[in-house]
Structure 1
Amino acid sequence: MKSLPDTVVSYKRTPEFDEESIPEGLLKNHQTKADVWGKIVVLSGHLLYTIHEPFEEITLDINTFGVVEPTVLHQVKPVGSVRFYVEFYQ
């Protein structure tokens, strides 16, 4: 599993989302800006995290978080009931 670089610092966090409140943009291919990393933190349930460059699918849960690399296309999909948030780093 990828990890965040030691040099980045958290600067923003989304509200908590569940399977019904996930913004549509997160369910489609999207990317962060250059120099912006993300950490997808699941509080309960499971979330399918798909990275498109290179292709990788990871099921996230309370023990496994997702790392979003700058400018890399990705998307998420709930697997049943889920609660999560995304924290952003620069």
Structure 2
Amino acid sequence: MAQIEKAATQRHIPGSDTAPPSQPYRSSPVFTEATLPLALQHDHRTKRGVWGVIRVLEGALLYCLEDGSPPRILLPGRPGIVRPDEPHHVELMGPMRMRVDFFDHEPTLLEDG
């Protein structure tokens, strides 16, 4: 996720009051099946204290945790939660658009945004 964090389009200082708690402090660019970084398709993890929300905007994406749990299909309105320092990767299933939102606390997903 370091590559996504470097390419982030929105910035916030964790612990500051510049973004409401329900808002990400940073968001990745929107990726397509053609622009999804290879680093995200291989095992990686967020930094300590950083939560991620993988949001599929169009299409579908397979979200795989390295803890042995079954892969999960992510769809628009059905995001994937990435816990801090949790090894994971995503796999393409066809055409798609997605982004990752980053939080400095466990996100509450009342609605997909």
Structure 1's unaligned 5+ residue stretches are 1-6
SS of aligned partner of 1:56: coil
Distance 1:54 1:38 in 2: 19
Structure 2 unaligned runs (5+)? 1-20, 105-113
Residues 4-83 of structure 1 mapped to structure 2, 5 A cutoff: 10-83=24-97
Structure 1 runs of 4+ with >2 Å offset: 53-56
Name whichever structure is richer in strand by fraction.
Answer: 1
What is the Cα-based RMSD across aligned positions, in Å?
A: 1.4
Aligned mate of 1:88, from 81, 99, 102: 102
Identical pairs, percent: 35
* Alignment size in residue pairs: 84
The whole-number CA distance in structure 1 between the counterparts of 2:40 and 2:30 is 13
Range that drifts further, 52-61 or 76-85: 52-61
What is the rounded CA distance, in whole Å, between the counterparts of 1:67 and 1:89 in structure 2? Answer: 11
Task: Determine the C-alpha separation between the residues in 1 that align with 2:48 and 2:22.
Answer: 13
CA distance in 2, matches of 1:56, 1:33: 23
Task: Give the TM-score normalised by structure 1.
Answer: 0.87
Q: Which of structures 1 and 2 has the larger relative contact order (alpha carbons within 8 angstroms, sep 6+)?
A: 1
Distance 2:75 2:22 in 1: 23
